[in-house]
Amino acid sequence: MGGRGDGWGWERELLDLLRPGGSSVRQVVAWLADAVGGAVCLHDDTGAVVAGTELDSGPFEGLLGDVVAGRIASAAWEGQGRHLRMVRLSGPAGVVTVSRTAPFGRRDSEIVTRTVQGLELLLRARQGTESERRLERATSDLRLAILQLLMVEDTVSARRVAAGLWPGLLDTDTACVYVVESSPEERDRLAEECLHTTAEQALVVRCPAMDGHVIVVTPRDSVAGALRSLIESRPRVFLGGSARQSLARTATAYGQAVSALAVAHFRPDQAAVYAERTHPERLLDPAALREWTARLLRPFDRLPHHTRAELLATTRLGLEFTAVSAAKVLGVSRNTVRARMERAETLLGTDFTDLTARAVVHLALNAHESAAHDPDRAPGTPPADTADLFTGAALRAWANDLLARLATDSRDLRRTVRTWIAAGGNAERAAQTLGFHAQTVREHVRAAEPVLERQLLAGGGDLYEVVLAHLACGDLAQPALRGVDQDESDSLVHR
């Protein structure tokens, strides 16, 4: 036997290999081959090679089969100038086969025995780690499934799924949603820290749509402070939170949290809550808004209840995010999202490539969601058309104040933003109208974001607020919508 077998130094080498975080199974098998001056092969319980050098088992195939099957624990074989030892692993199923040209001495046999014991420990640890990872993946998938159920207002199923692992977590009528943003590379570590920080008192989900986002749903007010502490002293980590909403309005709360996250990018403490700023729907006459919304969404009313709820929920998310992102959040295909959005366009008699139409329908869907959870509000007189809804003094004052911020820049950002919105958010078409380069349009729009404290290029609720401000000021034409501005065609409802 070689130098490693001389004396008992091999024991120290083997111990070093078996230390936690040390060598892999393949490295231990290679060390054993070097230590005994032969060839070593590790088979699993099916006889497949896991590590080492595959041996010609023809002469001793039957004996190897008996050891693999567990009929015998170990065996020795000699022939054709070879000496073999076969030892079955206890616990993790498998067999170690050692082949060499010289007979096995006492120390060689001792090295084989101790190494086999070490391999058993390593394989048990690896199985435990793999089982732990599978459990973590399953738990993560379960959290996502619960979030997706909440997103489509299936709170009953969400509570049932959550009850098994997190008893009491969703035994609540209301909750807040927070979105923590980091780089995609930091996201997994941040998610683990969110789990630890919230002490399992929140539903923590790696966002399926945005690689850098972690979504936190919690009924407990204390979680907000814990999350704020988590992002302190981290220069590129941001926190956005929603107002408290009913569980059935989780999708609305999620949109609010994403909207607040945009504001957090412009805050020194890198955190913002949705309720911290005024939103246009709060400045409209509540009764008039409710009646206008009911009339606008009337084409959906003759659909089966489940189809109607599914279509409204998908449209709300599809207006807030891209089809791909909405599909990931809902757990459906992007083609399904696009098909539902196209059906909503047909029912509403509008075109979602028009940003004014998107903004107005987005407003209606949010108002509908609020009305569904406030059924006792008295009915009002619906406005004659969409334009009438935006004639209130409070809304006009808010809109003028918001857009006046853009006047502080000499580049006439207001004109660029207005033209870009009218072009459907297409920088190339806006550039043709303005006589600019498309990149200049994008730079102007990007420069308007910190001034307005809203993300525009990303689309969604922030952009729609700015669109509504332009509508309230009369800077953009009102979109055409069936139900409030046109005669409704009943035949379209039955498509």
Length of the chain, in residues: 495
Q: Which uninterrupted H or E stretch holds 245?
A: strand 245-246
Token pair for 284: 């409209």
Rounded Cα distance between 281 and 289, Å, is: 8
The residues, ordered by sequence, that sit 6+ positions from 475 with a Cβ below 8 Å of its Cβ are 403, 418
pTM, two decimals, is: 0.59
Q: Bridge-partner residues for 43, per DSSP?
A: 49, 95
pLDDT above 70: percentage of residues in the chain: 88
Report the alpha-carbon angle 409-410-415, nearest 5. Answer: 80
Instruction: Please report the beta strands in 80-209, taking only residues with DSSP state E, as ranges in sequence order.
Output: 82-88, 94-100, 174-181, 203-206
333-353 residue pLDDT tens: 999 999 999 999 999 999 999
Rounded Cα distance between 236 and 185, Å, is: 12
125-173 residue pLDDT tens: 777 666 667 767 878 888 889 998 998 888 889 998 888 778 888 888 8
Other beta carbons within 10 angstroms of residue 302's beta carbon come to 11
Encode 432-449: b = buried (16+ Cβ within 10 Å), e = exposed: eebebeeebbbbbbeebb
The residues, ordered by sequence, that sit 6+ positions from 292 with a Cβ below 8 Å of its Cβ are 364, 382, 383, 386, 389, 484
Contact call for residues 472 and 323 (beta carbons, < 8 A): no
Please tell me what DSSP assigns to residue 208.
Answer: S
Instruction: List C-alpha distances in Å: 418 to 65, 95, 311, 492.
Output: 78, 73, 30, 33
Question: Is the pLDDT confidence value at 238 over 50?
Answer: yes
Nearest to 200 by CA among 175, 217, 176, 179: 217
248-288 residue pLDDT tens: 889 889 988 988 888 888 788 899 888 656 678 888 888 88
Question: Is the pLDDT confidence value at 1 over 60?
Answer: no
Q: Please, what is the average pLDDT of the chain? A: 84
Please tell me what DSSP assigns to residue 300.
Answer: G
Rounded Cα distance between 285 and 426, Å, is: 33
Burial class (CB in 10 A: 0-12, 13-18, 19+), 358: buried
